[in-house]
Amino acid sequence: MPQLSPPAASAADTPRPPLSPAPVLSRRDSVVQELRRAVVRGTLRPGDKLTEVNLSETLAVSRPTIREALNQLAQEGLLVQEPYRGLRVASLEPSQILDIARTRQALDMLAVDAILEDDGGRRMTAVQECWAEYSRWENDPDPLTRHEAHVAFHRGLWAASENSMLLRMWPVTEAHLTIALAQDQAIRSDPARASVVHHHLIDALQSRDRDLIEKAFTVHTIDSARELVSIIEGKDNA
């Protein structure tokens, strides 16, 4: 069972901020959001086990509400149900990180094709609006704020495509993206690199050159995943 208050810090371990009580309104959604935030911040880490009792006490929410939130996150893939052992935060093996990256690349390009098909420019305008919002927060000192801006930008790309199936798939995609970004954040926090990659991405999108856009997404998604896997495997072999 994970400690929900910050454990003692060591030289190799940054403090893990505590969870916050969930707001009264929309309690299930508030719990879902708080648990996502905990994963991003490192309060809950891949492999950590969760129990209704502990979360109910910590978040000041009823156990049935906690159960609903946990079930939703399990369906999305952020949590994993283990037989006879309960729920734990999902973790990603190197091969899974690459699988997610390749799948995201294909889905992102599906959204791009739909955006480029719109000769009137409405969909590209929506992309530019998403970029403007992302730009407000990309260099924020809070890793959670940067994460939420990053996720919102990519969801915005899918929304701009006006492809209803992409949006239906987004919750599962976001769950896996959150896990991957949390692992990335823990291993190699590099906001400057992320900013450069995203600036290249929006420049490519605004060019409307599909080949250039695909190359930019490859750098953003596939190459980034490969770099992360290389770091993980290097640590495992050290």
- Same domain for 78 and 122? no
Neighbours of 5 (CB within 10 A): 10
Which residues are CB-contacts of 198 (< 8 A; sequence separation ≥ 6)?
134, 138, 150, 153, 220
Domain that holds residue 30: 1-91
The residue among 71, 91, 111 that closes a domain is 91
CA distances to 99, 120, 141, 161 from 125, rounded to whole Å, are: 31, 10, 28, 11
- Same domain for 163 and 177? yes
Q: How far is CA 8 from the centre of its chain?
A: 26
pLDDT digits (tens, 9 = 90+) for 197-219: 999 999 999 999 999 999 999 99
- Same domain for 59 and 78? yes
The residue among 91, 120, 155 that closes a domain is 91
Query: Quick one: what percent of the chain has pLDDT higher than 90?
Result: 50
More confident call, 61 vs 187: 61
- Same domain for 197 and 213? yes
- Same domain for 115 and 223? yes
- Same domain for 83 and 98? no
Tell me what pLDDT residue 16 has.
60
Q: Which of 3-12, 54-63, 74-83, 178-187 has the least mean pLDDT?
A: 3-12
- Same domain for 37 and 48? yes
Mean pLDDT to the nearest integer, 174-202:
82
Tell me what pLDDT residue 195 has.
86
The rounded distance, in Å, linking the Cα atoms of 110 and 175 is 20
The rounded distance, in Å, linking the Cα atoms of 46 and 178 is 11
**Closest by Cα among 98, 80, 99, 97 to 89:** 80
Tell me what pLDDT residue 145 has.
84
Please, what is the average pLDDT of the chain?
86
- Same domain for 55 and 101? no
The residue among 91, 124, 141 that closes a domain is 91
The rounded distance, in Å, linking the Cα atoms of 141 and 118 is 36
Question: Does residue 222 have a pLDDT over 90?
Answer: yes
Q: What is the count of structural domains for the chain?
A: 2
- Same domain for 64 and 122? no
- Same domain for 87 and 106? no
Tell me what pLDDT residue 76 has.
81
Question: Does residue 175 have a pLDDT over 60?
Answer: yes
pLDDT digits (tens, 9 = 90+) for 60-101: 999 999 999 999 888 888 898 887 778 998 888 889 999 999
Mean pLDDT to the nearest integer, 8-13:
47
Q: Which CATH number characterizes residue 107's domain?
A: 1.20.120.530
Q: Which CATH number characterizes residue 20's domain?
A: 1.10.10.10
- Same domain for 115 and 229? yes
Question: Does residue 19 have a pLDDT over 80?
Answer: no
The rounded distance, in Å, linking the Cα atoms of 226 and 10 is 29
- Same domain for 150 and 229? yes
Mean pLDDT to the nearest integer, 26-50:
86
